[in-house]
Amino acid sequence: MVLTYIFVAASIFPRIDAQTSVPARIRNKAVLGPCTLTSDDSFVVASKKQIAAAMTTHLAQAGRVLDAFVPFQVLLDGSLEQRLTLLVELPPLDLALLGIELKALQDLDTSIQSLIQDHYYFPMFAVYCVDAKDVLRQRVKDLSHVLLAAASAENIRRMTAMGQTYEQTVQTLMADPLDSAELKTLQMFYESSMATFSALHDELYTNVCVSVRFLKEHAFQMSREEVQLFFMTFRWPDTVVNFQRKSLERQRDRKRELELVVDARQEHLTTTFGTCQKKIEKLREAGNMQDAAAVTKRIEAVMKLIADIDDEAQKIRDQQTILDMTPPTDNDKMIKELQEMLMPMEKLWTTVAQFTDQINLWRGQPLYLVNAEDAEKEADGFRRNIVKVIKECEKVGDVLDAPVAVARQAKKMLDEMLESHV
């Protein structure tokens, strides 16, 4: 095909008569005829053979230029790209390993410039390699960008996660505790946050700053957002110090407020102690058997009040323990005193009330419905209980004379019933 082009070019080669101007006085009317060269002329055939042989020889010389591109085949067949892509997709991302690969790519770029010339000149041909070298070098640049972009993305992810941890921790530190339990939780969180901030501080200098330095050393152009995120992350440790100070001040203020609340509750509880004690002392004045049911209800109300006092005392004790109030108030002793004051009367009046209910039941039933043996057993049981209660009350002293008199009255009635065999 090349020889055919040469032949065609020869046929349209500019003619001499078209390039000269002959004066009219010497001009011959004769003109040059058309080109008589044909492809089957012996001269043409011989020339084509000579040119073909020369081209075969010189093309072989030019073909050896391709040997200079063999070391860079990995840039063209995708094998290097596949390996580097796999490297950045498998966590964790190792900057040391990325540095080795980037150095290898830089060496590859240097080899492209040194091993491949821009032009190769041969006797018949010249090979222009500038564009081919640019393609290879751009491929190296693209692969380097893949590695650096992966390092940048990993650093952005790390800084974003650190920022979220900082924000969540600060929000918790600045929470306003409503009660002592929340205050205790906040105090414990404050202590644990020290380790959290220390770990974040270490990560900032061990990972984030190292990654940024790595990117700058390899001339990676960080985005404006990434730069702003880095500065924000870098300023977090100083910002956190202020939040910690404010949180500690808030904890102290809230602790004082809650201590005042606990003190007020304790004062109210002490007043309730006195009220309950007066009610028990008032119960000691009851001395009418007919009021047994009413007195029993009053005793039940006092027992409920003591239970409420005990519940409130437990809550106060818990609050004092949580707030580290020393020494905690000893309400158990006072509660025990109230219980000991009430217990003998509770047993006495409960037994008397049960006896009066039972005797009213017996008296209200027809005689034939009352089983004498069962009644005698029940009466004997009541008598035993009353005797036991009387002994316990007598140990207390004269303060229970009125209730004891009622119990003795009930005992007398039971004695008479048992003596008459019911």
Q: Cα separation of 28 and 45, whole Å?
A: 35
Q: Cα separation of 13 and 110, whole Å?
A: 47
The DSSP symbol for 328 reads P
Mention every residue, 6+ apart, whose C-beta is less than 8 A from residue 331: 266, 269, 273, 309, 313, 316, 317
Q: For tokens 């540095």, name the residue.
A: 99
pLDDT in tens, 303-339: 999 999 999 999 989 888 888 887 777 888 888 888 8
Q: What is the pLDDT of residue 422?
A: 46
pTM of the predicted model as reported, rounded to 2 decimal places = 0.65
Task: Give the amino acid at 84.
Answer: L
Instruction: Give the start-end residues of each E strand in 227-382.
Output: none
pLDDT in tens, 17-36: 666 666 666 556 556 566 66
CB 31 within 8 A of CB 76: no
pLDDT in tens, 232-269: 999 999 999 999 999 999 999 999 999 999 999 999 99
pLDDT in tens, 115-143: 999 998 888 778 899 999 999 999 999 99
CB 388 within 8 A of CB 350: no
Sequence spans of domains, the chain: 286-420
Q: What is the pLDDT of residue 48?
A: 76
Q: Cα separation of 188 and 260, whole Å?
A: 22
Q: What is the pLDDT of residue 62?
A: 76
CB 7 within 8 A of CB 44: yes
| Preceding amide of 92 cis, omega within 30 | yes
pLDDT at 375 over 90: no
pLDDT in tens, 185-212: 999 999 999 999 999 999 999 999 999 9
Which among 99, 108, 117, 104 has a CA at the least distance from the CA of 136? 108
pLDDT at 356 over 80: no
Mention every residue, 6+ apart, whose C-beta is less than 8 A from residue 376: 418, 421, 422
pLDDT range class, residue 348, cuts 50, 70, 90 = confident
